[in-house]
Amino acid sequence: MISVNDLRTGLTVEIDNGLWIVVEFLHVKPGKGAAFVRTKLKNAETGQVVEKTFRAGEKVAKATLDKRDMQYLYKDGNDYVMMDLETYEQLSVPEVQVGDGKKYLKENMNVSILLHDAKIIGVDIPNHVELTVVDTPPAERGNTAQGSGKPATLETGAVVNVPFFVAVGDVIRVDTRTNEYLDRV
């Protein structure tokens, strides 16, 4: 059990017989009355997001998660086939468990599978990935002053806004949490 005062973004807790991931939290100390913690929680299984308020000092159960390193092999229909790096056992992960990270998955990429009671609850992909640009409009002379960039389609199908100097065939680094261009590799 942990106090709600210790909640952090990304922490997984058990509330009402369900697994919830803390998306946002805010400690509120009003001028009069008791302090409380306002949270935004995402259900790990369904993806439903709810707002919940706790009294300061209230206790919640911290979920025990098992993290296993795996390698993404290939997509089979709506499932993603992963291989355990220790036992070489193959595992099919449903597309809903992969979530938004599927647009960055590249064959032979190492990922972490989150398990709770031997049930898959999610896939953690690396925070930064290096992908090749397969389609982007050419840079126009004199169009660099605006600084907004141009869209680029990557080898996995993800679309990212990039600076004008990025061309087709360039390898770029992308932040998977914010879908932003970081730099050219």
Q: Are residues 48 and 78 in the same domain?
A: no
pTM: 0.68
User: What's the total number of domains in the chain?
Assistant: 3
Q: Which domain holds residue 71?
A: 66-124
Same-domain status, 54 and 77? no
pLDDT of residue 142: 64
* 5 SS3 class: helix
Rounded to an integer, the average pLDDT of 43-63 is 86
* 115 and 146 share one domain: no
Question: Is residue 53 classed as helix, strand or coil in its secondary structure?
Answer: strand
Same domain, 133 and 169: yes
| Separation of alpha carbons 150 and 137, rounded Å | 7
How confident is the model over 44-72, as a mean pLDDT? 86
Least confident of 77-86, 140-149, 150-159, 170-179: 140-149
CA atoms lying within 13 Å on the CB side of residue 98? 20
Q: Rounded mean pLDDT of the chain?
A: 86
Model pLDDT for residues 141-167, shown as the tens digit of each residue: 666 556 678 889 999 888 999 988 888
Partners of 124 in the β-ladder: 112
Q: What is the mean pLDDT of residues 34-63?
A: 87
* N-terminal to C-terminal alpha carbon distance within the chain: 44
pLDDT of residue 174: 92
Domain match, 56 and 26 both: yes
Residue 173 has pLDDT above 90, yes or no: yes
Same domain, 148 and 108: no
Same domain, residue pair 146 and 173 = yes
Same domain, 75 and 57: no
Q: Are 58 and 77 in the same domain?
A: no
Domain harbouring 95, CATH code: 2.40.50.140
Instruction: Kindly state whether residues 75 and 115 are assigned to the same domain.
Output: yes
Question: Where a domain ends, among 101, 124, 147?
Answer: 124
End position of a domain, from candidates 95, 124, 153: 124
Q: For the chain, percent helix, then strand, then coil, each to nearest 5?
A: 5, 55, 40
**What pLDDT digit, counting tens, does each position of 102-132 carry?**
888 888 889 988 888 878 877 888 889 999 9
Backbone CA torsion sign across 156, 68, 124, 76: positive
Q: What is the pLDDT of residue 144?
A: 59
| Residues 39 and 73 grouped into a single domain | no
16: domain CATH number?
Answer: 2.30.30.30
